[in-house]
Amino acid sequence: MRRIIHFTVLCLAVVAVNACRPEEVISTEDIPTAGVRFIHAVPDTGAMDMRPVDIVENSTFYNVTFRATALMFYKNARAGSRHFKVFRSDTIAAVASTVVWDTTYTLEAGHRYTFILWGFSRPGSSPAMKLDIIDDNPADPGTGVALRLVNAGAGLGALDGKQYSATGAPGATPDWPNVAALSASAYVAAPVGSIKYNVTPAGGGAALFTDATALAGTPATVLLDATPGTTVAGSAVSGFVFPRSVVSSQATAPTNFTTPGIIFLWDRRPPRPAGL
């Protein structure tokens, strides 16, 4: 019995000593990051991969096809000088190792970037394929939203764009006049609400497609952040105009796009409202 009492006292002493120790703090690296997304807007070639080749991280985009919408979201990438390559996407190793574009770019922490491959890949076609990097960081639109038009339409020429309330009609003057091929307009301010885009050749003419309603978004809740869109104050949205697929090219698979079209993406997430 005495031994049991001694053993119990010893255990209590050990517990007391451990309880008096300060909690151990394990430091982890606070890695500054930027957001990157990859858009394939080349209308005469097949799927592409884009990935960093300097460090291993989850900022890789695999098997992105022309005008694809499945992978058009930002991924975190370490900020600083970074090395990215674009490859042909294929199950055949010799094809998959073909480098389409090689670039080094300095990512600024907290910024978001669009890596967009556009132009024509076939020799002699104009404009020629290239990779551009767009800094997607508009000023805070406050109680409104910021809107932009990106002309990714190789072969479409310059474009005029108008934004207007979905319950109204396009105005007489373009909000984004003469947006050159393979370029992005400046942002314009607009009140929150359901908004449509009207896109025509520069100087006027028939719309390239039926006026499209921009990304609407959803407000924040107690449990969820807002989904950015034109109905959520503080958001920024871009409309990317794409050309049709080139006939008899790999860009016709898996979907043959016979007319130009537009895809809407968010560029700025609104802050969470106070109290939520």
- The matching CATH number, chosen from 2.60.40, 2.40.50, 1.10.287, 3.40.190, for 32-137 is 2.60.40
Q: What is the pLDDT of residues 132-142, one digit of tens each?
A: 999 999 999 99
Model confidence at 232: pLDDT above 50: yes
Q: What is the pLDDT of residues 78-106, one digit of tens each?
A: 999 999 999 999 877 767 789 999 999 99
Report the percentage of the chain scoring pLDDT > 90: 78
The pairing of beta strand 33-41 with beta strand 112-118:
parallel
Mean per-residue pLDDT for 19-30? 60
Domain residue extents for the chain: 32-137, 139-270
Predicted model pTM: 0.87
Give the C-alpha distances (Å, rounded to integers) separating 219 from 6, 188, 228, 276. 64, 21, 8, 11
Give yes or no for a contact between 192 and 173, defined as CB atoms under 8 angstroms apart: no
Q: Where are the alpha helices (DSSP H) in 155-226?
A: none
Model confidence at 235: pLDDT above 80: yes
pLDDT of residue 97: 82
Q: What is the pLDDT of residues 118-163, one digit of tens each?
A: 999 999 999 999 999 999 999 999 999 999 999 999 999 999 999 9
Q: How many CB atoms lie within 10 A of CB 217?
A: 20
Q: In what order do the strands lie in the sheet with 212-213?
A: 176-179, 159-165, 195-201, 212-213
> How far is residue 195's CA from residue 191's CA, in Å, rounded to a whole number?
9
> How far is residue 115's CA from residue 132's CA, in Å, rounded to a whole number?
6
**Is residue 76 helix, strand or coil?**
strand
> How far is residue 47's CA from residue 80's CA, in Å, rounded to a whole number?
28
Give yes or no for a contact between 227 and 220, defined as CB atoms under 8 angstroms apart: no
> Sign of torsion, CA 127 86 76 74?
positive
